[in-house]
Amino acid sequence: MNRTAREFQYGLFLIPAFLFYVLFCVYPFATMFYYSLTDYSIVKQTGLHFVGFRNFSEIAHYDLLLAGIKNSLIYAVLMTVFQTALGILLAVALDKKLKTRNVLRSVFFLPAVFSPLVIGFLWNYLLSTSDAGLINRALTSVGLDKINFLGDSDLALYAVVFTQLWQWTGWAMVIFLANLQSISKDYYEAAAIDGATSSQQFWRITLPLLQPSVSVVSVTAMIGGLKVFDIVMSLTGGGPGNATQTIMTAYIKTSFDEGFYSFGAAYGVVFFGAVLVLTMLLMQLLKKWGGSNR
């Protein structure tokens, strides 16, 4: 059978998946741009008018959405930096020849298996200031004051970051481990012969050669951090006040709770643009770093 006929057969098999993708991903995405320029809402579902960029200018005046953007940025940056850093440290530590190496690797990875909703409900109880809050009970039993992890608006966001680092650092560790194992031992031997300390070996050999996995982890963590929703909903509901509102929780509140679909669509367009720009910046940064390693 010649090549064209074969390609045609592949194409036929692709069609169902392609149609599904267009219908459920591309079409809603495209219509989001359309609706952001109309006055579509729960009280106005037909006979829509074009309102130009009114929805977009409203965003700048809306405290909730601005707070969401700010919190999401803080959250995404913290998650990216610490997941990468802690993940690398864990991977390097668990790449050494330890007897309990495999057990430890499993233990650190295990939290990533659970749904964020389960993690949220679990930590809700652990971090609570009521009698059911185990962490605070431990603190008071040694004479310290209770810490209002989820109720103090200065702490709440960092409490959420903490639970997510606890959940996902193991996943980052696994990716770094895979990369580590592809680094040839020859480099380390040569460096040892030349008298390099382990610290020098880490910074000059390990880290530069980890560039592929650092790219993967940091880009994924950045995008995931900007998109965060389920853990916030289950742990704090966006509160106290608006201290843990993120882009997505604010989006859901505006679109579905308040019913202003067009406004939410405009916000979605802005969000899409922001993630696109940030991700491209990050990838440029990583490419530069990778280039300088040659």
Partner 1 sequence: MAYWNKETTVQSLLDLIKQKLPNIEIEYQFIENAQYDNIIGTQLAAGSGPDIISVGPPAATQYNKLGYLADLSNLADRFSDAGTSVYSVDGKLVALPGISWFEGIYYNKEIFAKYGLKPPKTFEEELKLHEDLKKNGVKPQAMGAKSFEPMMKSSMGLIMNEFLSQPANKDFDAKYGKGETTLEGNWNAGLEKWSELIKRGYLTNDMLGIDYDQALDEFATGKAAMWESGPWALEAIKQKNPNIQLDMFPFYGSAGGPGWLIGGPGVGFAANAHSKNADAVMQVLDLIATPEGQKAFWENNQGGSSYLKGVSFDMPAEFDGVKETFQAGNVYAPWNNWGGSASSIIEDYGKALQELLGGKSDVSTVLKTTDKTTARLLQLNK
Residues found near partner 1 in the complex (CB under 8 A): 41-43, 45-46, 58, 61-63, 124, 127-133, 146, 148-153, 236-242, 253, 257-260, 263
Cβ neighbours of residue 132 closer than 8 Å, sequence gap 6 or more? 125
Residue for token pair 């966001």: 157
Token pair recorded at residue 2: 């010649």
* Residue whose CB is less far from partner 1, 229 or 289: 229
Between residues 48 and 223, which has the closer beta carbon with respect to partner 1? 48
Measure the CA–CA gap between 9 and 65, rounded to whole angstroms.
48
| Least Å from the CB of residue 141 to partner 1 | 17
Minimum distance from residue 28 beta carbon to partner 1 (Å): 16
CB-wise, 224 or 259, nearer to partner 1? 259
Which tokens go with 204? 């000059």
Q: Report in angstroms how near the CB of residue 197 gets to partner 1 at its nearest.
A: 46
Structure tokens, 265: 């669509």
119: which residues sit within 8 A by CB, 6+ positions away? 111, 163, 167, 231, 234
Minimum distance of partner 1 from residue 232's CB (angstroms): 13
Nearer to partner 1 (CB atom), residue 76 or residue 150: 150
**What's the closest the beta carbon of residue 77 comes to partner 1, in angstroms?**
23
Our CB check for partner 1 shows the closer of 132 and 178 to be 132
Q: 38 phi and psi, to 5 degrees?
A: -120, -175
Q: Which of 278, 269, 286, 246 is nearest to 37 (CA)?
A: 269
CB of 170 to partner 1, least distance (A): 27
Helix axis angle for 261-292 and 211-227, nearest 10°, is 170
Cα separations (Å) of 196 from 184, 191, 201? 16, 5, 6
Cα–Cα distance measured from residue 88 to residue 213, given in angstroms and rounded to the nearest whole number: 10
Nearer to partner 1, 167 or 245 (CB): 245
